[in-house]
Amino acid sequence: MFALVDCNNFYASCERVFNPKIKNTPIVVLSNNDGCVIARSNEAKALGIPMGEPAYKIQHLVNIHNIKVFSSNYTLYGDMSQRVMDTIKSVVDSVEVYSIDEAFVDLSSFQLFDIQDIALEIRQRVGQWVGIPVSVGMAPTKTLAKVANHMAKKQAIYNGICILESETEIQNALKLFPVGDVWGVGRKLSKHLQNAGITTAYELSMASDSWIKQNFTITGLKMVHELRGISCVPLEKMVPPKQSICTSRSFGKMVDDFETLAEAVSNFAARAAEKLRRQKSSANYVIVFVTTNRFRQDLKQYANQVVVNLPVASSLTSELIHYALIGLKSIFKEGFEYKKAGVIVSGIVPQDEIQTNLFDELDRERHEKIMCTMDLLNQKMGTDTVFISSQRNRKNNWKNRRELLSPSYTTNWNELPEAKASSDILPKKRIQ
DNA sequence: TCTGGGGTCCTAGGACCC
DNA sequence: TCTGGGGTCCTAGGACCC
């Protein structure tokens, strides 16, 4: 058996933990640049706010219903996620952190009659220790655990925990489960399946192997087997190193000059280099891309990208910035309003398996020491305490809009939550 | 006016090898 | 007239996930 532990309305729930005033008010959290709705509390869902809706389209609802709106605070969510995962790991051993708000658990070492208790314990402990509500779905495969989790969340009778175990239980659940909600079925597949007359997960599980394989390849076949209770997707306890790392942002304002773009790209490259060093790897090439605002069809459109090969695989900030800027120069065109740019590093190899270059003139050992020191300083004193000068060409007018940001309660000494207490005994004192 | 960011996997098709 | 067979590697693009 597998369990899927999923945080309810994760980002919205994070905002509530240190701000109990908004416990029962509708909350939405916006994407970067305060663009779209990416998380909603139950109250906000009940008001009919769809996922992914641009913020300006829900402004009237915000005003009428006094919805609390937040910019996304990934520092807070990342730290809360870590706490949730650590807490789950304190209950069970085999945990796969699947996403920022989800974890799979391998329950094969437990007796079947124990698993209800384990789910209860996880739910209770995460709730008490971290303050985030979670739902638990349990079933013989990961795909079915996803189904069970859905049910635990959607149907109040389950009280946050749903176990699908016997054949009948599973089939009855699948008969009521829309095929489009199955893990691995997206928009395209869903349409394709509907056209073939398959509307429920049960009907999908009954389709013939040959038809599935022909139409949906090996991935589809695995999915169908998982629905039948045959486990094809194992638990992955170890996180494999990333094969590509992307850092990109939409700009708060349109950008039309090279210098500003260069500063943005320098910062993206610096972030990518940090991520590389964190997973102890180096990249063989850097991709730089720029694009104008695709929603503004009244403006001239331009989008381009370029791959720059590095002489030696590298994770040195200064070197990655250097080559990223060479790339940017080659694709930059005057006369456009740029909205977004990004840097992708790829061709990633482990740090200790780098193919060196006979003609390489850089003293890499020395540079690596500098990077190490820089990372330590920035980790201790805050991001970009030390940075490469091209990261600060001019005013930061490309930066994201984040106008509704909550404090980083758990990661910044200056933004710790405050608890105020008063009593009749000490009427004039306020204790913080 | 305002529309996110970061990933993985799979396949088809071309280039190349013997 | 007729033009092999069996591979690998790479890339672009499309699908999916959160």
In this predicted structure, the answer to whether residue A10 has a pLDDT above a threshold of 90 is yes
Residues above pLDDT 90, as percent of chain A: 71
Q: Give the CA-to-C1' distance from A243 to B7 in angstroms.
A: 9
Mean of pLDDT values over A360-385: 92
**235-294 on A, CB < 7 Å from strand B:** 240, 242-250, 254, 275, 293
A112 contacts: CB under 8 Å, gap ≥ 6: A1, A165
pLDDT digits (tens, 9 = 90+) for A93-146: 999 999 999 999 999 999 888 999 999 999 999 999 999 999 999 999 999 999
Q: Who wins on pLDDT, A393 or A260? A: A260
Helix (H, G, I), strand (E, B) or coil at A88: helix
Q: What pLDDT, on the 0 to 100 scale, is given for residue A141?
A: 96
Q: How far is the CA of A218 from the C1' of B13 (A)?
A: 19
CA distance A6 to A228: 22
- Res A413: pLDDT: 84
The whole-angstrom separation of Cα A140 and Cα A266 is: 47
Average pLDDT (A417-424) is 76
A321 within domain boundaries? yes
Question: Is residue A308 packed enough to be buried (19+ CB in 10 Å), middle (13-18) or exposed (0-12)?
Answer: middle
- pTM for this predicted structure: 0.91
A73 closest CA partner among A411, A418, A419, A417: A411
pLDDT of A140 = 96
**CATH code of A343's domain:** 3.30.1490.100
Q: Across residues A402-407, what is the average pLDDT?
A: 89
Nucleotide nearest to A99 (CA to C1'): C18
Which residue, of A107, A140, A163, is where some domain finishes? Answer: A163
Confidence tier at A60 by pLDDT (50, 70, 90): very high
Tokens describing residue A140:
């013989």
Q: Which nucleotide is nearest to A59 (CA to C1')?
A: B2
Distance, angstroms, CA A127 to C1' B4? Answer: 29
Q: Calculate the alpha carbon distances from A37 to A12, A97, A167, A229 in Å.
A: 11, 24, 38, 35
> Which nucleotide has the shortest C1'-to-CA distance from A191?
C15
Same structural domain, A250 and A126: no
Is A365 catalytic? The answer is no
Q: Is the CB of A38 under 7 A from strand B?
A: yes
Asked if A209 and A255 sit in the same domain, the reply is no
Distance, CA of A328 to CA of A211 (rounded, Å): 47
Query: Is the Cβ atom of A56 within 7 Å of strand B at any atom?
Result: yes
Model confidence band, residue A5 (pLDDT cutoffs 50, 70, 90): very high
Is A235 part of any domain? Answer: no
Nucleotide closest to A307 measured between CA and C1': C11
Considering only CA atoms, which residue is closest to the C1' of nucleotide B11? A217
- Structural domain contains residue A402: no
Residue A126 within any structural domain of the chain: yes
- pLDDT exceeds 70 at position A165: yes
Q: What is the pLDDT of residue A428?
A: 55
Query: How far is Cα A22 from Cα A154, in angstroms, rounded to an integer?
Result: 22
For residue A150 the two structure tokens come to 């859905």
- State chain A's mean pLDDT as an integer: 91
Within this chain, do residues A158 and A177 fall inside the same structural domain, yes or no?
Answer: no
Does residue A420 fall inside a structural domain? no
Name the least confident of A129-133, A240-244, A275-279: A240-244
A106 lies in the same domain as A211: no
Looking at the C1' of nucleotide B3, which residue has the nearest alpha carbon? A54
Q: Which residue has the higher pLDDT, A56 or A357?
A: A56
pLDDT digits (tens, 9 = 90+) for A292-332: 988 888 888 888 888 888 888 999 999 999 999 999 999 99
Closest nucleotide relative to residue A275's CA, C1' based: B6
Q: Does residue A116 form part of some domain?
A: yes
Single-letter residue type at A143: T
Query: Is the same domain home to A6 and A21?
Result: yes
CA A188 to C1' C9, whole Å: 29
Distance A285 CA to C7 C1' (A): 28
Within-domain flag for A421: no
Does A431 have pLDDT greater than 70?
Answer: no
Q: What is the structure's pLDDT at A27?
A: 96
Residues A33, A94 within the same domain? yes
What is the average pLDDT across A181-193?
A: 93
Q: Are residues A365 and A303 in the same domain?
A: yes
> Which residue(s) pair with A394 in the sheet?
none
Last residue of a domain, one of A163, A189, A214: A163
Q: How confident is the model at residue A422 (pLDDT cuts 50, 70, 90)?
A: confident
Domain with A182, as residue range(s), is 167-227
**Protein-contacted bases of chain B (C-beta within 7 A):** 1-11
* pLDDT tens figures, A336-347: 999 999 999 988
CA-to-C1' span, A364 to B14 (A): 38
User: Model confidence at A424, in pLDDT bands (50, 70, 90)?
Assistant: low
Q: How many domains is chain A partitioned into structurally? A: 3
Q: Which token pair is A144?
A: 């079915």
User: Do A158 and A171 belong together in one domain?
Assistant: no
pLDDT at A429: 52
In DSSP terms, which residues pair with A104 in a beta bridge? A4, A96
- Better pLDDT: A319 or A426: A319
Helix orientation angle between A167-175 and A142-154, rounded to the nearest 10 degrees = 60
Last residue of a domain, one of A117, A137, A163: A163
Domain of A102: which CATH number? 3.30.70.270
Q: Does A237 map to a domain? A: no
* pLDDT tens-digit series, residues A376-398: 999 888 888 999 998 886 665 78
Higher pLDDT, A432 or A168: A168
Q: What is the mean pLDDT of residues A212-228?
A: 91
Among A15, A102, A263, A274, the active-site one is A102
In a shared domain, residues A273 and A382: yes
**Residues A371, A289: one domain?**
yes
d(CA A235, CA A431): 48
Residues 6+ positions from A326 with CB-CB distance below 8 Å: A308
Give the distance, in angstroms, between the CA of residue A213 and the centroid of all CA atoms in the same chain: 31
The CATH number of whichever domain residue A183 belongs to comes to: 1.10.150.20
Are residues A313 and A221 part of one domain? no
Same domain, A172 and A249: no
Residues 6 or more apart whose Cβ sits within 8 Å of residue A267: A391
